[in-house]
Amino acid sequence: MTRVVVVGAGIGGLVAAVALRRVGIDVEVYERSPEPRVEGTGLSIMSNAVAALRGHGVELALEDRGRAIESFHLNTFDGRPIRAVPVRSIGDRLGAPSVCVHRADLQQALLEAAGDCPIAVGAVATGFTADGDGVRVDFADGRVARGDVLIGADGFHSAVRGQLVGPETPRDAGYACWLATIPFAHKALPAGHVAHYWGRGSRFGLVDIGHGRAYWWGTRNNTTWDGTKEQVLRACDGWADEVRAAVEATPVEAIVGLAARDRPFLRTWGDGPVTLLGDAAHPMLTSLGQGAGMAVEDGVVLARCLAGATDPRQALRRYEDERRARTRRMVRTSRALSRFEQAERPWARLVRDAAFRWMPEPLLHRQNASAMTFPATTGTRST
């Protein structure tokens, strides 16, 4: 039986573990944190990721844990409508909803689905050595893991990626992000609603994630967070009432501030018995809301490729080949959309708003459906 070592117990690592166990593969997961991470703010699991999980026999009851998207609106900074995005109708056609959920709730669902899968915590990977028998992984506290395959699912600062490709410089997108999840109710945020607000070099989002909670996020060009709520309030001065109300209702300690960054896309994700998955392979900006979704798809395709494989190394290369074009497109589209939406000059903002307001409905539908459709895979063949 193939034995897989997964480094990282985030969304991608846990999905990989759950999916691999569904096809009878032995898995061990190693997480650097003292406990599997059950923190963070909100995120979206779009129809493509829900379909990928269901098609692999993984049901996480996400609609009970979060809230399916019922309506999605793009607005000006002060709340005037620009365009409705047909997220629900696309999901209805695909037979899978898009769900907004707290990261901790998704993480808990995956931990439950993982069952008795061994998950070692406080395990900081320091390096790996591949040989004819598989791969050895070393950890800072002296622990050693051996397997036929190593999956680097250890996120943006992946130690596995670092050994595979060497030192890298992240790409800075030029703006700061603020994120928070709070108990919140407002007449402008009905059940299942997602609203994005566009201003001058700045955006905000307000999302119902169910159970009386809202997830909000904001961005601002050429800014680094100073750690105060006053900076965020200044950034949304004059914005829609619901945006300011959400920020005002948020304790400063609940706000996560970070720089928007991704990395250049890798042409090669692995070598021998080693490969990468999720943010370790293809970190992307958040404009498409598909970072978690791509990690979910990766985990399912990886499991299908390894299922019954007589040569795990060839199966890893097939997984990489199947995922490369789609994830490259997502990374590039996310960066391009981010640049477009963060427009600052008056003429650029006019073009941005007009482009979405007057985009033909079939084109809008086609662009969103492309991202929200889990592609057919050929990973069920054995090698």
For 55-80, write each residue's pLDDT tens digit. Answer: 999 999 999 999 999 999 999 999 99
The type of residue at 247 is: V
Tell me, what amino acid is at 345? R
Residue count of the chain, please give it: 383
With helix as H, strand as E and coil as C, how does 279-320 read?
A: HHCCCCCCCCCCHHHHHHHHHHHHHHHHCCCCCHHHHHHHHH
Q: Which domain holds residue 57?
A: 3-44+52-67+103-170+263-341
How many domains does the chain fold into?
1
Q: Which CATH number fits the domain that encloses residue 36?
A: 3.50.50.60
117 and 17 in contact (C-beta within 8 Å)? Answer: yes
Q: Is residue 273 part of a domain?
A: yes
**Which ranges of the chain have pLDDT less than 50?**
381-383
Residue 163 lies in a domain: yes
220 is a domain residue:
no
Q: Check if the beta carbon of residue 149 is closer than 8 Å to that of residue 2.
A: yes
Q: Please check whether residue 94 lies inside any domain of the structure.
A: no
Residue type, 192: G
Tell me the C-alpha distance between 192 and 256, whole Å. 23
**150 lies in a domain?**
yes
Predicted TM-score of the model (pTM): 0.96
- Report how far residue 101's alpha carbon sits from residue 43's, in angstroms, rounded to the nearest whole number: 6
Phi, then psi, of 261 in degrees rounded to 5: -145, 155
Q: Do the domain assignments include residue 23?
A: yes
What's the rounded Cα separation, in Å, for the pair 240 and 243?
5
CB atoms within 10 A of CB 111: 17
Tokens matching residue 305 = 């490729």
In a domain, 12, yes or no: yes
Residue 145 resides in a domain? yes
- Amino acid identity, residue 17? A
Q: How far apart are CA 200 and CA 218, in angstroms?
A: 12
Q: How many whole angstroms separate alpha carbon 351 and alpha carbon 45?
A: 29
**Predicted local distance difference test score (pLDDT) of residue 1:** 79
